[in-house]
Structure 1
Amino acid sequence: MNATPATPASPSRIGYARVSTDDQNLDLQRDALKASGCATIYEEHASGKNTERPELSHCLKALRAGDTLVVWRLDRLGRSLQDLVRIVGELESRGIGFESLTERIEASSTTGKLVFHLFAALAEFERNLIRERTFAGLKAARARGRKGGRPPKLDARQVREIRALLKDPHVRVIDVAKRYKISRATLYKHVGSVVPVREG
């Protein structure tokens, strides 16, 4: 008996909606996505700066070749221009379409591809600007005699003072840390372990 081959699933339009906080309403995005033909919508309450977006992860995993990811607006998907370009590029490599309703962009169309090529160029431009500013800042700091990175919280004189204080068995580490407005971890990082001197 010959088995009947399974009918391949038809392409789906899957929506993704996001608001920044729990007190914002998803109704506007939800209604627009449903009107555009999305039967399934993944909904997220998370800041655009938040790297943890579990519903977006579930949504991206659910998409199959031929499907289309639909968002109400571009900033609902990407945390930044670079993030947006990266996500859409990954979708394209998997054979998945992308559409943004507000901007009327379809990544699979000729115009949509042109827009995202422009976005990619802008993202690269932004990365180069940040890199140049960082290098310029480090060069200026070196010219003033400082190395890159955060300045130390304690200078050499303060380290000597703390070591002298901690040699007194009646002085508590937490009190010394408060006095210098640092954490105990920072204190130990700069001073190390100091054994109190006990009078015999």
Structure 2
Amino acid sequence: MTLLQSRGVGFKSLTENMDTTTPGGVLIFNMFAAMAQFERDLIRERTNAGLQAARVRGHKGGRPSKLDDRERARIRELYQSRALTVQEIADKYHVSRMTIYKSIKTPL
């Protein structure tokens, strides 16, 4: 809005009684903008509090893993033995090659 004002552009609503070409209109516009920012901050604060409470209760976010610890251990064995290629291992477990590489890197 400041950029538009510096270029001499004003905002005049046809449906609401708001006109940023007047000092009163600028005041109203800034009050609405401040309330909108306040609401966004409250939403962010409540969301973070909810996520933290969920973590305390033992919930973890994100997508569930396609592989369990036993499968990851077996994949690591197959990879280290070089019995199968990475693509063959991925096909066997119905996952992508990237999932195989990530499971090898991730500690059990």
Q: Secondary structure at the match of 1:106?
A: coil
Tell me the equivalent position of 2:49: 136
Any idea what the Cα deviations from partners look like across 1:115-152, whole Å, max 9, x if unmatched?
Answer: 322321232222222222222222222212345x5356
For residue 85 of structure 2, the aligned residue among 172, 179, 182 is 172
Tell me the equivalent position of 2:38: 125
Structure 1 unaligned spans of 5+: 1-87, 193-200
Deviation at 1:163, TM superposition (A): 1.0
**Relative to structure 1, is the Cα distance of residues 166 and 116 closer, same or farther in structure 2, using a 3 angstrom cutoff?**
same
Q: Which has the higher strand share?
A: 1
Any idea what the Cα deviations from partners look like across 1:70-118, whole Å, max 9, x if unmatched?
Answer: xxxxxxxxxxxxxxxxxx13433x3532325544643232343133223
Confirm or deny: 8 A CA contact 1:91 1:98 kept in the other structure: yes
1:109 matched to 2:31? The reply is no
Deviation at 1:176, TM superposition (A): 3.2
**Relative to structure 1, is the Cα distance of residues 106 and 139 closer, same or farther in structure 2, using a 3 angstrom cutoff?**
same
TM score, norm. by length of structure 2: 0.62
- Corresponding letter in the other structure for 1:150: G
Deviation at 1:168, TM superposition (A): 5.0
1:150 matched to 2:85? The reply is no
Q: Which has the higher helix share?
A: 2
Task: Please provide the CA RMSD for this pair.
Answer: 3.1
Tell me the equivalent position of 2:96: 183
Distance 1:166 1:146 in 2: 32
Tell me the equivalent position of 1:159: 72
Q: Secondary structure at the match of 2:2?
A: helix
Deviation at 1:160, TM superposition (A): 1.0
Distance 1:110 1:172 in 2: 71
- Corresponding letter in the other structure for 1:164: E
Distance 1:100 1:175 in 2: 64
TM score, norm. by length of structure 1: 0.39
Distance 1:91 1:135 in 2: 34
> How many residue pairs align between the two structures?
103
Tell me the equivalent position of 2:11: 99
Confirm or deny: 8 A CA contact 2:12 2:21 kept in the other structure: no
